[in-house]
Structure 1
Amino acid sequence: MKITTRDGVALHVEEAGEGTPILFIHEFGGNHASWEPQLQYFSRRHRCITYAARGYPPSDVPESLDAYSQAIAADDAVAVLDGLGLDKAHIVGLSMGGFCTVHVGLRYPERALSLTVAGAGYGCEKEFEEYFRGVSLEVADNFERKGAQEFSKIYALGASRVQFQNKDPRGWQVFADRLATHSDKGAAMTMRGVQARRPSFYDLADELKRMAVPTLVVVGDEDDHCLQPGIFLKKTIPACGLSVFPKTGHTLNLEEPAAFNALLAEFIAQVEAGRWLPRDPRALPGQIMRTS
């Protein structure tokens, strides 16, 4: 089905199952189909929704750079909920979708039952901030100049993607083939408008400290540029838990689907039971051992 955003962009939406809704938001290197292992698992007891972001066919591919930003991405996620008549949902995002999930929590906390932020952090580390922006623009140029079919062969072998290839070559090949179908224009515009211009988590510290939505952060221990941002989110968001998957890269939900599904299911169960709480104030970060 299609829903229309406030600026008239048509987004392709798919759903399965019944129950408390979960909205899945995909990464830059994937699309709505990247969540298939989760839809198959969670649709047994939840209404699972996934959509192709703007710039990702069969959703519309706006031509103007002004149609792409981090704020617009968060607005689009809420537009999907609105289009389906949903007041609230558990929001789950990977990488680019993880950033979007954080911004949904900041901009629309009343629409989120919980936030799961997986593999998010690229560009946040201050020492790599400018480098990330430059690389993002270079990637955008490559998608435009070489095309997704050709450049995907390079992008799919990034430093945090080879873990997936080593563990599950067939699954990785499906991911790589999907990447090759990206819109050249949509990928370039998304990289320039969303990725290269999004704010660092560190610049949002004051807002994140006030965000009360139950949050789960998940990172792979070989996804180097998400590790420290993940710890930062854990220490900054009041009701936040952090899980680190061993020997795991960036494509968490596909690389380790069983572990990811089990972790997410437990998190959602705790949230729905009212037991995912802010950190106990007695757990003082500066205290090593209590002496009195």
Structure 2
Amino acid sequence: MTLKKYKFNYYLNVNINTSLIIFLHGFMGNINEFDEAIKLLGEEFSYLTLDLPGHGKTQVLGGDEYYKIEPTAQAIINLLDELKIDKCYLIGYSMGGRLALYLTLHFPERFIKVVLESASPGLATEADRLERVRSDAQIARKLSRSIIKTDFAAFLSNWYNQPIFGSLKNHPKFERLLENRLQNPLIGLTKSLQFMGTGNQPSLWEKLKENTTPLLLLAGENDEKFRDINTEIANISKVAQLKVISNTAHNIHFENTVEFVQNIREFFQK
């Protein structure tokens, strides 16, 4: 079983007679990524959080190919089976959103409704994927050269200068976010970027047309790239609805946790 190639670090919080939400964090996140959102949701749901391969304390026991999206998705399904979770809600952010969409399209019977935050179905053409693989390989080399913590901190500071993150660095809790990111293993992050990066992900654009699972697409007002991508997703999938969250960029659940939770609650309880 694929599960045996992984030793997942996960936390299952069960509230009696409630539906369960599984949360999938983004690149350089970890099991604590959605803690503030879960606090606001309280005892309305049960929760499964985990460290994705290359992040936190999850161990990949197989080769590098087990950092890829396909075996990772199967391993998550196996984990749900092991925990006797038949159907649940699913939320994924950025990289975790790409993984969440892959899970939705390949295992639709397992998910009631799905929230994709700043996510994409991958790149549509082979040329775009190859270019992204080259780009991610360059970033991975820079990351692998972060020998000491201050090097990694400098890498992170540069990472969050990307336009998609808007003014995230001005957020009052940004230093706390950085500290959380610094807990991740550098080798694991490098492999995650190399093998689960957008360039290595199979394109989901065509399969998206077949989707029957209700999707809530969240995009930040100040994240033009992903606002455009998710507008296109909403145009393709009849069961997808797009909500643009004001005064936020790529990391919506961090920048505006209250509105993030409000949208989740309304979508899941309809």
TM norm structure 2? 0.89
Question: Aligned ranges for residues 1-292 of structure 1 at < 5 Å?
Answer: 5-18=2-15, 19-62=18-61, 64-121=63-120, 124=123, 129-147=129-147, 148-166=152-170, 168-170=171-173, 172-195=174-197, 196-201=199-204, 204-205=205-206, 207-270=207-270
Which AA in structure 1 matches 2:73? A
Which AA in structure 2 matches 1:249? A
- Aligned partner of 1:284 in structure 2 is none
Deviation at 1:118, TM superposition (A): 0.7
Equivalenced residues, count: 262
Counterpart-to-counterpart distance in 2, 1:80 and 1:65? 20
Q: Secondary structure at the match of 1:34?
A: coil
Which AA in structure 2 matches 1:89? C
Counterpart-to-counterpart distance in 2, 1:239 and 1:22? 19
Counterpart-to-counterpart distance in 2, 1:217 and 1:198? 19
1:39-80, Cα deviation, whole Å (9 max, x unpaired): 212241100111001111311145732121121232233233
- For the 8 Å contact 2:5–2:61, the answer to whether it is kept is no
Counterpart-to-counterpart distance in 2, 1:227 and 1:128? 19
1:222-262, Cα deviation, whole Å (9 max, x unpaired): 22321222012111222110011123211111111000000
Deviation at 1:112, TM superposition (A): 0.4
Larger radius of gyration: 1
5+ unaligned residues in a row in structure 1: which ranges?
A: 271-292
**Residues 225, 124 of structure 1: alpha-carbon distance in 2 compared, 3 angstrom cutoff:** farther
- For the 8 Å contact 1:217–1:230, the answer to whether it is kept is yes
Counterpart-to-counterpart distance in 2, 1:261 and 1:43? 11
**Residues 63, 108 of structure 1: alpha-carbon distance in 2 compared, 3 angstrom cutoff:** closer
Counterpart-to-counterpart distance in 2, 1:49 and 1:68? 20
Counterpart-to-counterpart distance in 2, 1:111 and 1:216? 17
Which structure has more relative contact order (CA 8 Å, sep 6+)? It is: 2
Which AA in structure 2 matches 1:6? L
- Aligned partner of 1:278 in structure 2 is none
The answer to which of 98-107 and 132-141 deviates more is: 132-141
Which AA in structure 1 matches 2:65? D
Q: Percent same amino acid among aligned pairs?
A: 19
Deviation at 1:11, TM superposition (A): 0.4
Deviation at 1:267, TM superposition (A): 0.3
Counterpart-to-counterpart distance in 2, 1:186 and 1:63? 13
Q: Secondary structure at the match of 1:222?
A: coil
Counterpart-to-counterpart distance in 1, 2:9 and 2:247? 34
Counterpart-to-counterpart distance in 1, 2:191 and 2:248? 29
Q: Secondary structure at the match of 1:44?
A: helix
